[in-house]
Structure 1
Amino acid sequence: MKEDNIDNLFKNLEGSFDLEAPAYGHEQRFLEKLNTQQGTKTLTGKNKSWWKPLSIAASIAILCTIVFNVYKSKPSLEQQVAQISPEVSRTEFYFASLIEQQVNTLKSESTPETKKIIDDTMIQLKKLETNYTQLEQDLVNGGNSKLILSAMITNFQTRIDLLQDVLNTIETIKNLKNYDNAKTTI
């Protein structure tokens, strides 16, 4: 029965509904009137305008702080070693360039006959580099500096001797191959 009354009410009011859109700013004015009656204060457009730029500025400041802290991290292991012993960095540069030169020569001598020995040599060099890095870490951590520096130099010398021995072996292999080729052509 109640539903019939509501249906009748809407049928009677049909055509008299206001279908026009409210004027610009109607909602804001309505909320201000409502809040003044209730004694509260709302954030108007003027009060809201500072919030967005402030939040953007705060986000940028936080991002800059994070980036600064990442790049300001502690110095690398090589830099720490250079601070402890500048001679080590000069010696390391000399030995590293010499080793790199010999490695390039070794790679240029690669043939099917010498591939296995070259691959094994590269594995041994990686192991020696890992040991050298551990020695650097020990030096930074405050170990016996004279003993560690001596071990670091020995590590470099071992790498150079290994490369020189392998280059000599490759030269011997090449000579034997040439000798065998000369022998079979006669």
Structure 2
Amino acid sequence: MEKGKLDSLFKNLQGTFDTEEPAQGHQQRFLEKLEGTHKVVKMDRKRSSWWKPLSIAASVAILLAVGIGLFAPKQSLDERMAKIAPEVSKTQFYFTSLVEEQVKLLESQSTPETQKIIDDTMIQLKKLEDNYTTLEQDLLNGGNSKLILSAMITNFQTRIDLLQDVLNQIDTIKTLKNYNDENYTI
């Protein structure tokens, strides 16, 4: 239709549009008439009302699952290792205490003459500890457990041997220093 015809149509119909709200119970009366003339299933609004509580319950369940996942305490590396190989935790405790004891002894021997060798030893120990952590991860990820356990023990033995060698070198340095001091005359 053209714009002029449309405007004239609306001008002719002006004032005849029904803009009032239907009377109370109009929908119910309409549905009763509809049921009487045709076999129509009555629409019940209560059927769709179960979606709201179900969606709320699902939302709460999802929030709980996410909350538990985020805030649940995670097992430490040592706890996971103890589950996989209980003997590892016992061996680790034993070797760790030996290494710590040797490190304390090494640090107590620190002098200006021995400081460089002690610093180098600490760097090497840090590398061995990092290597051990990698071995632990490999064991947790399901690697060849016998081979990895052997490598872990070898790692600890290497640390202890390194510390023993350095302590022997420090004793040698001290002995040489004392020997030179005794032979030195003023």
The TM-score, its normalising length taken from structure 1, stands at: 0.62
Closer, same or farther in 2 for the Cα pair 1:109/1:71, shift >3 Å? farther
Cα distance in 1 for residues equivalent to 2:68 and 2:185: 71
Q: Which amino acid aligns with 1:94?
A: Y
Q: Counterpart in 1 of 2:38? A: none
| SS of equivalent to 1:132 | helix
Structure 2: segments with no counterpart, 5+ residues: 1-63
Q: Counterpart in 2 of 1:124? A: 124
Closer, same or farther in 2 for the Cα pair 1:117/1:80, shift >3 Å? same
Aligned-pair CA distance for 1:74:
3.0
1:142 aligns with 2:142: yes
| SS of equivalent to 2:106 | helix
Q: Counterpart in 2 of 1:165? A: 165
| SS of equivalent to 1:185 | coil
Cα distance in 1 for residues equivalent to 2:141 and 2:171: 43
**Residues 66-145 of structure 1 correspond to what in structure 2 (within 5 A)?**
69-145=69-145
| SS of equivalent to 1:112 | coil
Aligned-pair CA distance for 1:76:
1.5
Aligned-pair CA distance for 1:72:
1.7
| SS of equivalent to 1:107 | helix
Cα distance in 2 for residues equivalent to 1:165 and 1:145: 30
1:69-112 deviation line (CA, Å, top 9, x unaligned)? 44524312111111100100000000000000000000000000
Q: Which amino acid aligns with 1:100?
A: E
Q: Which amino acid aligns with 1:135?
A: L
Q: Number of aligned pairs?
A: 125
Cα distance in 2 for residues equivalent to 1:119 and 1:99: 16
Cα distance in 2 for residues equivalent to 1:133 and 1:86: 17
Cα distance in 1 for residues equivalent to 2:152 and 2:71: 29
1:27-85 deviation line (CA, Å, top 9, x unaligned)? xxxxxxxxxxxxxxxxxxxxxxxxxxxxxxxxxxxxx9987644524312111111100
Aligned-pair CA distance for 1:133:
0.2
Aligned-pair CA distance for 1:159:
0.1
The TM-score, its normalising length taken from structure 2, stands at: 0.62
Cα distance in 1 for residues equivalent to 2:123 and 2:130: 11
Closer, same or farther in 2 for the Cα pair 1:148/1:180, shift >3 Å? same
Structure 1: segments with no counterpart, 5+ residues: 1-63
Cα distance in 2 for residues equivalent to 1:132 and 1:153: 9
Percent identity, aligned pairs only, is 69
Cα distance in 1 for residues equivalent to 2:109 and 2:136: 32
| SS of equivalent to 2:112 | coil
Cα distance in 2 for residues equivalent to 1:69 and 1:100: 36
Superposition RMSD in Å: 2.2
